[in-house]
Structure 1
Amino acid sequence: MTATFTSLSLEMRLEPTDLKLADGAFVALVGPNGSGKTSLLHAMAGIAGDATARTIDGEPVPQGQPARRARLIGLMPANRALAWPIPVRDLLSLSPVPVDPERVASLVKRLELTDLIDRPANALSTGERARVFLARTLASRPRLLLLDEPLANLDPYWALSIVDLLREEARGGTMIVTAMHDFALARRFDRMLLMHEGRLALDGPSSETMRKERFANIFRLAPEGEGWRPA
């Protein structure tokens, strides 16, 4: 089964973009700041912009119908701000669809949230909130996960652990698109989308894409040993 997005666009910020994702797609979305990564995720989620067609497993993604959309698409925004003191336990249960308590319990254990479960979510560190928001996004088992900088503000252990968790979800058939800046972590993804000035500049296997001259030029970098330097 696949997800298909045809002529995604967002006025003045995202050029018309066509994408197709297969079952288990494990995709890193990269690009300089302001290149259109968040705009693309929002257009795919249908919360902004237009599309000629947006289907998942052959089913049109509905406008409205929050419960059905939650089964098809889970979006984790980059903003970790939370104004109200809702306990983590209650935040994990907030969903337009019923969530499986065993699924939530498994995520709480995997993401080591047990000691945080009764704390107000707005009192957590940014990294702790990132783990909580990821657990909430995963809880309803959406077919497509759109994650905006889920690894930001995480220490190396948690960044690597969450990439491993996401890969396990992909192996189960979930389609995953993850916006990020860390090249070392991006190499762990099967496919890479490179955004530049509101358009999709490169699309291919991560390791091959990162070796292309255009990749380096867009980021204004030059290879240096195993890493990079400003060009």
Structure 2
Amino acid sequence: MSVLAIENLSASLSGRRVVDGVSLTVGKGSFTGLIGPNGAGKSTFLRACLGLVPASGRIHLDGVDLAGLRAADRARHIAYLPQERETAWAMSVEAVVALGRLPHHARFAAPSDRDRAAVEAALARMDLSAFRKRAVTSLSGGERARVLIARALAQETPVLLADEPLAGLDPQHQIALMRLFRELAEEGRIVVASMHDLTLAARWCDRLLLLNGGRPHAEGRPEAVLTAQTIEDVYKVEAFIGTATGGLVVQPVDLSQKRKEEDHG
């Protein structure tokens, strides 16, 4: 069984500790939501897992030290969907998605049948087949987001890390993406995605890691992590917590009383 083990991960930016001693162990078939307020360290945590920022700690996948791998080798183990979605070149959608196959073959090698099949599957899964010849620069922000998700899918790695993948998507595509991540987990992948929508995190993730100030505040099943007290302590808001169509609903409704008092001196 595949296991991603992150132990005591810490990272600093501009001399300030942004991620401080975070550990997370997730197994094959899991979809973990990384939640927390702005500035909690979610993006830096994901980037540190990929070696994109200097960090200390241990990151292993099935005993393989990912931090010790070359970037190209690491890309065969972990796919990454960054928060930034700007595209500078007018490449076709199909060409951008095909970039996800680069870690799997030698430089300048012609695409294999498996490469073409992976690209086709990713385009279909993200409902982009009709867009394949369109320049990615001509697409809307939400459409570009789906292209980059398809690129990560085409990479066919056992682990997918996604930073704010729901940003810029309409409700239909947000839910479709959460369904997709759940399906990928059920197919045997490990998915870790940062997000702000607590209801979507609660309904589709099997586990949540709540960061606050760069440190782990709570981890576990959504119903154990997303309590009224925890939400008030971390987010400084009051929230409605209930159920609908068999799932948890978490809706912030107002600033907490303590935050109101702080705002009014």
Q: Smaller-chain TM-score range?
A: over 0.9
Unpaired runs of at least 5, structure 1 = none
Asked if 1 retains the 8 angstrom alpha-carbon contact of 2:21 and 2:215, the reply is: yes
What is the rounded CA distance, in whole Å, between the counterparts of 1:182 and 1:150 in structure 2?
Answer: 11
Residue 182 (1) aligns with residue 189 (2): no
Deviations 1:134-173 (A, max 9, x none): 0101112111111001111111111111111111110121
- Aligned twin of 2:158: 143
The higher relative CO (CA closer than 8 Å, separation ≥ 6) is in 1
Unpaired runs of at least 5, structure 2 = 106-113, 243-250, 257-265
Alignment partner of 1:166: what SS?
helix
Select 2:122's aligned residue among 93, 107, 115.
107
Residue 117 (1) aligns with residue 118 (2): no
**Structure 1 residues 1-231: aligned runs within 5 Å:** 1-11=2-12, 12-63=17-68, 65-94=70-99, 95-98=102-105, 100-187=115-202, 188-211=204-227, 213-224=229-240, 226=242, 227-230=251-254, 231=256
What is the rounded CA distance, in whole Å, between the counterparts of 2:3 and 2:43 in structure 1?
Answer: 22
- Amino acid in the other structure paired with 2:218: L
What is the rounded CA distance, in whole Å, between the counterparts of 2:74 and 2:212 in structure 1?
Answer: 29
Alignment partner of 1:185: what SS?
helix
Deviations 1:31-82 (A, max 9, x none): 1111100011111122213233211011111545233211111111001111
Asked if 2 retains the 8 angstrom alpha-carbon contact of 1:46 and 1:63, the reply is: no
What is the rounded CA distance, in whole Å, between the counterparts of 2:117 and 2:123 in structure 1?
Answer: 10
Percent identical among aligned pairs is 32
Asked if 2 retains the 8 angstrom alpha-carbon contact of 1:6 and 1:51, the reply is: no
What TM-score do the two structures reach when normalised by structure 1? 0.94
What is the rounded CA distance, in whole Å, between the counterparts of 2:158 and 2:228 in structure 1?
Answer: 31
- Amino acid in the other structure paired with 2:36: G
- Amino acid in the other structure paired with 1:110: R
Asked if 2 retains the 8 angstrom alpha-carbon contact of 1:30 and 1:37, the reply is: yes
Aligned CA-pair RMSD:
1.6
Any runs of at least 4 consecutive aligned residues in structure 1 with deviations exceeding 3 A, and if so which? Answer: none
Shift of 1:110: 2.1
Shift of 1:212: 5.1
Deviations 1:182-229 (A, max 9, x none): 112111211011111111111110122112512332111113364322
